[in-house]
Chain A
Amino acid sequence: MEIIYPVLSIVTFMPLAGVLVIALLKSMNAVRIAALITTCITLLVSLPIFIIFDRSTHRFQFVESYQWIPSLNIHYKMGVDGISVLFILLTAILSILCVTVSWKAIQYKAKEFYSMILVMETAMIGIFSAMDLFLFYIFWEAMLIPMFLLIGIWGSSNRVYAAVKFVLFTLAGSVLMLVGIIALYFIGGNTSDIIELTMLRYPIEFQYWLFFAFFAAFAVKVPMFPVHTWLPDAHTEAPTAGSVILAGVLLKLGAYGFLRFSLPICPDATRELMFPMQILSVIAIIYGAFITLMQTDFKRLIAYSSVSHMGFVTLGLFSLNQTGVEGGLLQMINHGIVTGAVFMSIGIIYERTHTRRIEDYGGLAKAVPVFVVFYTIFSLAAIGLPGTNSFIGEFLILSGAFKSNYAITIPAILGIILGTAYMVWLYYRVVLKDLNPAIKEHLHDMDLREILTVIPLVLLILYIGIQPSVPLSYMHASVQHLLERLNVSGQEVAAIKNIVESIK
């Protein structure tokens, strides 16, 4: 089935159109409703993508291409394949929930707040559907501005520090990527089309340089050890919706970048660097988990747990086999759902108690039972209990890693044990124990809006946990194609090298 209208552009720029509407509105209520409607419409118009998507091919679908900067042969080119398609759905769903979760929490400059959320959504969907390096880069960087403002204006006490740190870290990585992109543009024969660039095979030294240039940007975003230090600050200080976007989508962009660029464009360098990458991932898993264990701040604890969880994702990706990469991809989505959900829970309870210190909590089970039901599901999903989505993801990652390098799986499994430890211990301190009288009077259970906000996430967690083959079926063909490219031995290299030389 063919789709004749530019569905990806419509999905990408729908939120931006919403911003224009919001700019005209005066009352806060109208602004909130407009934002909600916009995000819902965005999800609705994006649904055809998933329904019509042809899962049997690795090719990009719904491709649109227009001249953009003709003299540089740069195109506005959009398209999705099995790797990116599910992230658009994830972004669209999380954006709706970001609006609803902020409904009451954001009273200050609400108009600007919802505008920023919508601009963010445009940038994120744009990143996942861009098929031109420069277009990708523009969306990638454009995301910095709204995120900076989200953290810096609506964050908690130390927000300015966290916002500036976030921008400086991200910018440091991405400008190096820009140099890489420009170099690739010339070596690849004056083109920035991702498909054309992934057809060539580049000299190995160039691949190494390029891999490091991309690594600078993507490792910061993931974040990989040792460039993860912006994450706890940004996640902790950001408003709830900001944390959800950060954990849910932003962190995925780094891992997505590895899959989209580093692996297919620098296949030989990736193979050579597979082991160091796996080591870095395992360090992130173990080190992240240990730091998480000793946190005293509720939100910061979850923030650090992301370092550990994203370590699993990169471990899966860099095991470079079908199981591992698919597991990594699935776990990216899972982590977006689960950690987003946990951050929302924290936001919901923080609105009542106005404290993030774990020791101030205790005995929530008695005071807010409905909240605790949801929180329990999310905690179990974060641990990776069978039946929840994270179990599938982690299982696939570990079996993939085992096939690639069994020694590396041993410390990685230790990370799962540590993960259980910090989540269960946190659960004990927050939900069980004795109720702190100081917060008791502020506690009231979740209202309908909040329940409706978290229910989609519960459904997703269980759905993926029970029916993982559905999301995985989107990925098979694309991942397989990617790995074929990665594992082709150097036979064509000489031939293609000649082509590259002649272009230069």
Chain B
Amino acid sequence: MNELKPLLPEIMMIVLAVGIFIAGALFKRKDFFPLISIAGVVAIAFLLPEYKGIAFDGMFISDGYSIFFKLIFMLNIFFTGLISANYSVIKKENYGEYYCLLLLASIGMMLMASAGDLIVLYSGLELMSLSTYVLAGFLRNDIRSNEAALKYFLLGTFASAMLLYGITIIYGLAGTTNLNAISLYLVKAGIAANPVMTVAVVLIVVPFAFKIAAAPFHMWAPDVYEGAPTSVTAFMSVGPKAAAFAAFGRVFYEALKSAEMDWTPALIAIAIITMATGNILALSQKNIKRMLAYSSIAHAGYMLLGIISGTQEGLSALTTYLLIYTFMNMGAFTVIIFLEKTDMDKNIRRDTELEDLEGLSKNHSFLALSMLIFMFSLTGIPPTAGFIGKMNIFMAAVHAGYTWLVVIAVVFSIVSAYYYLRLVVNMFMKESKAKEAVIAPPVSIRLAVMISVLMVLIIGILPSLVIGI
């Protein structure tokens, strides 16, 4: 039983997920599911720090690092629950599976963050991926949702297979899948620059890059983000990304630290291409979901700088950035989802376009103001949290000697200002053409926006209150 103690949060999550699944089959009324998942997740989040420890001979590690990521996953479910509660698309389908799958995917993520062994890492990744494939295709009568799921599935399995290859090669070299043991072996054997090692590293980098949607492995992201139900898009834009980064940090900082020279150049190249692709392609998007997809690609590029720095400072800057990114991105998606004009009876699902934001400041001044703060935060302008996140990452990278890379990053962040500002321009500087009755946002939407705005501002002004920097 003692062995299981660090695993208790995961076990509770499984109970919650299965419970909702069964309840979904038993009860007709299903509108209490979001409430249950949110309440459950909040409770588990408060219990999380209690369950530190190592289980199963180092296969499962629950430490400060993994707990921080798990909090991000909890937040992710919390926000997704809030925005799904009144999202007509999900409401109409309204199966218990939806919340069950959200929880299952998050359990996968938690396993990834806690993995002390490549096998645990892989099974966590698979659990997360399979659940998100299904979630992306959750609207089974919607062809775009189907397309998104299929695309994600085909490319995703390819990436998973690659990861398995990488793990196999490392196992062949080191004779173990335990991260710590691998690290010891690499130091002892001194085969850092060995070509076989390079191949293994590449085979591990690529699937992770795929999961965080880093270019040139980002092709799936815009299409899947666009096709999936928007609440799922919001979920996917934070959860799997954070989980992949958690695993990134574990594998590269713990196991492959001594092979740094193998992966750093590759990651630098990926980071530059990612920032360029994400920011430049976002410029021409009209569909806001697509724009946010490219923006999330670009942010993955900035976050990679944290890994590239190769220092503890870089890693903690990365985790901070992810937390901040969760708030600002979730906030932005909440506003987008509220504005989505969906008519499920006629089976029309129309995404929020740039022009739908016109005149928002007049009809929904609170939402518009919040969106403005999210956009400036995503650009990285103080006094918002986005600035603190960027500053941390850049400081770590400059400290590690990558000043030139930071210069590239800031140049791309200027590019990003253009497309984020365009939203602000449409909200505040144009008048809306449509003459529709103004519907006040439901409580769940307001709550989600309010919490994220507050957090973005608090972290932006008094960062030491929230994050330990």
Give the shortest distance, in Å, between A189 (CB) and chain B (any CB).
13
Contact of A69 among B381, B387, B411, B464 (CB under 8 A): B464
Contact of A148 among B406, B418, B424 (CB under 8 A): B424
Q: In the complex, are the beta carbons of A159 and B398 less than 8 A apart?
A: no
Is A141 an interface position by the 8 A CB rule? Answer: yes
Across-interface contacts of A367 in B (CB, < 8 A) = none
In the complex the two chains form, what is the Cα distance from A168 to B421 in whole Å? Answer: 10
Known: A70-B464, A141-B381. A178 touches B394 (CB 8 A): yes
Instruction: Mark each residue of chain B from 126 to 157: 1 if its CB lies under 8 Å from any CB of chain A, else 0.
Output: 00000000000000000000000000000000
In B342-362, which residues have CB < 8 Å from any A CB? 361
CB nearest neighbor in B for A70: B464
Q: In the complex, are the beta carbons of A175 and B414 less than 8 A apart?
A: yes
* Secondary structure class of chain A's binding surface, majority of residues: helix
Known: A137-B382, A164-B421. A69 touches B463 (CB 8 A): yes
Known: A149-B428, A183-B398. A167 touches B417 (CB 8 A): yes
Across-interface contacts of A164 in B (CB, < 8 A) = 418, 421, 425
Is B410 an interface position by the 8 A CB rule? Answer: yes
Is B40 an interface position by the 8 A CB rule? Answer: no
Instruction: Mark each residue of chain B from 407 to 436: 1 if its CB lies under 8 Å from any CB of chain A, else 0.
Output: 100110110011001001100110000000
Known: A153-B429, A167-B421, A182-B398. A176 touches B410 (CB 8 A): yes
Q: In the complex, are the beta carbons of A171 and B414 less than 8 A apart?
A: yes
Across-interface contacts of A142 in B (CB, < 8 A) = 381-383
Is A25 an interface position by the 8 A CB rule? Answer: no
Instruction: Mark each residue of chain B from 381 to 401: 1 if its CB lies under 8 Å from any CB of chain A, else 0.
Output: 111000100010011001100
Known: A70-B464, A164-B421, A164-B425. A178 touches B469 (CB 8 A): no
Is A145 an interface position by the 8 A CB rule? Answer: yes
In the complex the two chains form, what is the Cα distance from A397 to B324 in whole Å? Answer: 48
Is B195 an interface position by the 8 A CB rule? Answer: no
Is B468 an interface position by the 8 A CB rule? Answer: yes
Across-interface contacts of B421 in A (CB, < 8 A) = 148, 164, 167
In the complex the two chains form, what is the Cα distance from A144 to B410 in whole Å? Answer: 17
Is A179 an interface position by the 8 A CB rule? Answer: yes
Is B122 an interface position by the 8 A CB rule? Answer: no
Is A204 an interface position by the 8 A CB rule? Answer: no
Is A72 an interface position by the 8 A CB rule? Answer: yes
Across-interface contacts of A183 in B (CB, < 8 A) = 398, 403
Is B376 an interface position by the 8 A CB rule? Answer: yes
Give the shortest distance, in Å, between B351 (CB) and chain A (any CB).
24
Q: In the complex, are the beta carbons of B414 and A178 less than 8 A apart?
A: no
Q: In the complex, are the beta carbons of A144 and B398 less than 8 A apart?
A: no
In the complex, the number of residue pairs spanning A and B with C-beta atoms less than 8 Å apart equals 81
Chain A contributes a number of interface residues (CB within 8 A of B) equal to 33
In the complex the two chains form, what is the Cα distance from A175 to B417 in whole Å? Answer: 11
CB nearest neighbor in A for B415: A168
Is A160 an interface position by the 8 A CB rule? Answer: yes
In the complex the two chains form, what is the Cα distance from A110 to B383 in whole Å? Answer: 24
Is A68 an interface position by the 8 A CB rule? Answer: yes
In the complex the two chains form, what is the Cα distance from A78 to B462 in whole Å? Answer: 16
Q: In the complex, are the beta carbons of A176 and B429 less than 8 A apart?
A: no
Q: In the complex, are the beta carbons of B468 and A141 less than 8 A apart?
A: no
Known: A69-B469, A148-B421. A179 touches B398 (CB 8 A): yes
Is A50 an interface position by the 8 A CB rule? Answer: no
Is A186 an interface position by the 8 A CB rule? Answer: yes
In the complex the two chains form, what is the Cα distance from A71 to B396 in whole Å? Answer: 13
Q: In the complex, are the beta carbons of B410 and A178 less than 8 A apart?
A: yes
In the complex the two chains form, what is the Cα distance from A141 to B410 in whole Å? Answer: 14
Instruction: Mark each residue of chain A from 245 to 276: 1 if its CB lies under 8 Å from any CB of chain B, else 0.
Output: 00000000000000000000000000000000
In A145-187, which residues have CB < 8 Å from any B CB? 145, 148-149, 152-153, 159-160, 163-164, 167-168, 171-172, 175-176, 178-179, 182-183, 185-186
Give the shortest distance, in Å, between B380 (CB) and chain A (any CB).
8
In the complex the two chains form, what is the Cα distance from A172 to B425 in whole Å? Answer: 19
Q: In the complex, are the beta carbons of B410 and A175 less than 8 A apart?
A: yes
Across-interface contacts of B418 in A (CB, < 8 A) = 164, 168
In the complex the two chains form, what is the Cα distance from A73 to B379 in whole Å? Answer: 25
Q: In the complex, are the beta carbons of B414 and A141 less than 8 A apart?
A: no
Across-interface contacts of A70 in B (CB, < 8 A) = 464
Q: In the complex, are the beta carbons of A144 and B381 less than 8 A apart?
A: yes
Is A138 an interface position by the 8 A CB rule? Answer: yes
Q: List 7 A-B contacts (CB under 8 A).
A: A69-B463, A72-B395, A145-B376, A149-B428, A168-B417, A172-B411, A182-B394
CB within 8 Å of B: which residues of A? 68-72, 109, 134, 137-138, 141-142, 144-145, 148-149, 152-153, 159-160, 163-164, 167-168, 171-172, 175-176, 178-179, 182-183, 185-186
